[in-house]
Chains A and B, each alone.
Chain A
Amino acid sequence: MSFYAVMGAISQGLVYSLMALGVYLTFRVLDFPDLTVDGSFPLGAAVSAVLITHGVNPFLVLPAAIAAGMLAGLVTAFLSTKLKILNLLASILTMIALYSINLRIMGKPNISLINRATIFDHFASFRDFIMSQGIPPFVMVPILFLAVIVVVKIVLDFFLHTELGLALRATGDNPQMVQAQGVNTHFTIMLGVALSNGLVALSGALFAQNQGSADVNMGVGTIVAGLASVIIGEALIGEMTVFRATLGVIIGSVIYRLAIAVALQIKIGTLQITPSDLKLITAILVVFALTLPTIRGKIKLDVFRKEEDRQ
């Protein structure tokens, strides 16, 4: 694998890790299985692409994308809390609705940003500096993404330790207790799901600007990739503290993209793995990651049994 391909995978992993942090917030912190992300990721991309083609500053586009994503999350949380629709189903409904909405926003299935100024064009002097150091220019993107991720991680870690953040975490762990302690769980769920989808939409917006296009179908399977990142992170870094959990999600996302890049190199006989196989590979990976603790538990149990036999 070339250095260029590795850098490409790392920058993808970093930009997707924002989405994965959103998935962590709903699935792990709030215990709210939220599939809205498959719609809010392309939503962020769509808002970003449309505004840029209308000449809006590519930086100002980002808060707009975040706001759109938060709104989508609010809809899901509203359906679930106020209208009492099962959370998983509520998120699927929003996701499906977003497909039409995204098409309306874009007006067509695909918008190209080639020849349009994106945030990356504003770092031309930084690119020149990197090149003057003898480093290839494409290394700039992962460095910029890394800077964004570090900031987001610090803010998220801080938030989850504030009074409000603690109430949010407790909502996912023990809604009964948190209500008895005076927390309005409808509010914490709305806040959490909105924040999550805001992050996902930001991820989509940055992804579209980096890739140079937005596509209405780019969201398919986002949730699975997010889950895979969360699970890989938990397996490698652990989840004992918020700091470690969010760090794990970011590293998990990067490893996931690297693993996929490697998988694309594989050739079995005449069978060449292509990008269209990625969804299958991802699904298998998630199944493997999800069953790993069970398998490990069994192995441990076996070792324990043998020791008993010896005694």
Chain B
Amino acid sequence: MIRLKNLTKIFNKGSVNENLAVNRVSIDVKRGDFITVIGSNGAGKSTLLNLIAGVYPPEIGKVIIDGRNVTSLKEHQRAKFIGRVFQDPMMGTSGSMTIEENFSIALARGRRRTLAFGVNQKSREIFRGRLSLLGLGLEDRLSDKVGLLSGGQRQSLTLLMATLNSPKVLLLDEHTAALDPKTAKLVMDITRRIIETYNLTTVMITHNMQQALANGNRLIMMHQGRVIFDVKGPERDRMTVEDLLDHFGKLRGSLADKTLLSIKTEAP
């Protein structure tokens, strides 16, 4: 479903601040895969996700989604088949607009926006149906401003908006990291349910090893712009956080302790 070929991203190329953020990464993601990506700060996880989403073009390499080379497509052009949820709950929704207006913007994703009313009786029914899946009572608050909602509610809303038009790919960039533990669990439960219901191909970045092991069917570890560990199937299912830490140490024997310490090991 997603094929990354030799993907490379260099920031501030040619200056003293030159930073090789993603270094010749090639990954093949199968349809229906749920991949979790872990790694320390600056490992290139978010850059990788942004390259898939088209936030910026790669220096070298290709992004192929569902057989189509999308490398030259801009972010808004790729949005047709990509759903995204960001770390910051404020980022995925417009706070000054109502729930139904936000939904309406997501509903028109991938097609030309017209001069028809954004919200009508028919679309309201769709929104209500989707919102009732959350069990947060938001279906009765369609005309409330999103700015009035809590971080967890906003993040759940973003999730629904990202998956409203059944995208080919769902990208989650540490989308529970800014939430309190209880809300993080709730949002993660909702995420799992949505992914299962629509059988979405998903790439999820997380800082949390426990979360990375508890979700998905394949795990990728990144370090300094490269994929250093890639595991799936029964081997992955058997792994514990300690195994992961072991692996991390083995693969990067020279690794400084502080890099290891920056990875959270506790459960959410």
The 3 closest A-B pairs by CB, nearest first: A182-B79, A163-B113, A182-B109
Q: Which residues of chain A come closer than 8 Å to B84, judged between CB atoms?
A: 180
Interface of B is mostly: loop
The smallest beta-carbon distance between B225 and chain A, in angstroms, is: 24
Q: In the complex, are the beta carbons of A182 and B110 less than 8 A apart?
A: yes
Q: Which residues of chain A come closer than 8 Å to B97, judged between CB atoms?
A: 166, 169-170, 173
A162 touches which of B90, B94, B118 (Cβ 8 Å): B118
Distance of A177 Cα from B74 Cα, bound (Å): 14
With A180-B79, A182-B80, A182-B110: A163-B95 Cβ-Cβ less than 8 Å:
no
Chain A interface size, under 10 / 10 to 19 / 20 to 34 / 35 or more:
20 to 34
The smallest beta-carbon distance between B81 and chain A, in angstroms, is: 10
Quick one: which of B89-111 are within 8 Å of A by CB? 90-97, 101-102, 104-106, 108-110
Quick one: which of A151-196 are within 8 Å of B by CB? 159, 161-167, 169-170, 173-174, 176-185
Known contacts A162-B113, A163-B104, A181-B106; 14 further A-B pairs (Cβ under 8 A): A161-B119, A162-B117, A162-B118, A163-B114, A163-B118, A164-B114, A167-B105, A169-B94, A169-B97, A174-B90, A177-B93, A180-B162, A181-B109, A184-B74
Q: Which of A165, A174, A180 has the most CB of B within 10 A?
A: A180
Q: Which residues of chain B come closer than 8 Å to A182, judged between CB atoms?
A: 76-77, 79-80, 108-110
The smallest beta-carbon distance between A175 and chain B, in angstroms, is: 10
B261 at the interface (CB under 8 A from A): no
The smallest beta-carbon distance between B126 and chain A, in angstroms, is: 14
B136 at the interface (CB under 8 A from A): no
Q: In the complex, are the beta carbons of A162 and B79 less than 8 A apart?
A: no
Interface residues of B (CB under 8 A from A): 53, 74-77, 79-80, 84, 86, 90-97, 101-102, 104-106, 108-110, 113-119, 161-162
Q: Which residues of chain A come closer than 8 Å to B86, judged between CB atoms?
A: 176, 180
Q: Which residues of chain A come closer than 8 Å to B110, judged between CB atoms?
A: 182
Interface of A is mostly: helix
Q: In the complex, are the beta carbons of A181 and B105 less than 8 A apart?
A: yes
Distance of A255 Cα from B91 Cα, bound (Å): 37
Q: Which residues of chain B come closer than 8 Å to A179, judged between CB atoms?
A: 75-76, 79
Q: In the complex, are the beta carbons of A164 and B113 less than 8 A apart?
A: yes
Chain A residue at minimum C-beta to C-beta distance from B91: A176
Q: In the complex, are the beta carbons of B75 and A180 less than 8 A apart?
A: yes
Interface residues of A (CB under 8 A from B): 159, 161-167, 169-170, 173-174, 176-185
Q: In the complex, are the beta carbons of A174 and B93 less than 8 A apart?
A: yes
B94 touches which of A164, A165, A173, A185 (Cβ 8 Å): A173
Chain B residue at minimum C-beta to C-beta distance from A180: B84
The smallest beta-carbon distance between A29 and chain B, in angstroms, is: 10
Q: In the complex, are the beta carbons of A163 and B92 less than 8 A apart?
A: no
A185 touches which of B76, B109, B113, B118 (Cβ 8 Å): B76
Q: Which residues of chain B come closer than 8 Å to A169, judged between CB atoms?
A: 94, 96-97, 101
Distance of A166 Cα from B101 Cα, bound (Å): 7
Distance of A159 Cα from B84 Cα, bound (Å): 28
Q: In the complex, are the beta carbons of B95 and A173 less than 8 A apart?
A: yes
Q: In the complex, are the beta carbons of B161 and A181 less than 8 A apart?
A: yes
Q: Which residues of chain B come closer than 8 Å to A165, judged between CB atoms?
A: 118
Q: In the complex, are the beta carbons of B113 and A167 less than 8 A apart?
A: yes
Chain A residue at minimum C-beta to C-beta distance from B81: A182
Distance of A183 Cα from B91 Cα, bound (Å): 15
Q: In the complex, are the beta carbons of A174 and B108 less than 8 A apart?
A: no
Distance of A180 Cα from B86 Cα, bound (Å): 10
Q: Which of B80, B102, B110 has the most CB of A within 10 A?
A: B102
A184 touches which of B76, B101, B104 (Cβ 8 Å): B76
With A170-B97, A182-B80, A182-B110: A163-B91 Cβ-Cβ less than 8 Å:
no
Q: Which residues of chain B come closer than 8 Å to A184, judged between CB atoms?
A: 74, 76
B116 touches which of A163, A167, A173, A174 (Cβ 8 Å): A163
Distance of A184 Cα from B162 Cα, bound (Å): 17
Q: In the complex, are the beta carbons of A159 and B105 less than 8 A apart?
A: no
Q: In the complex, are the beta carbons of A161 and B117 less than 8 A apart?
A: yes
Q: In the complex, are the beta carbons of A163 and B79 less than 8 A apart?
A: no
The smallest beta-carbon distance between B245 and chain A, in angstroms, is: 34
Q: Which residues of chain A come closer than 8 Å to B96, judged between CB atoms?
A: 169, 173
A178 touches which of B105, B117, B162 (Cβ 8 Å): B105
Q: Which residues of chain A come closer than 8 Å to B94, judged between CB atoms?
A: 169-170, 173-174, 177-178
Q: Which residues of chain B come closer than 8 Å to A180, judged between CB atoms?
A: 53, 75, 79, 84, 86, 92, 162
The smallest beta-carbon distance between B212 and chain A, in angstroms, is: 23
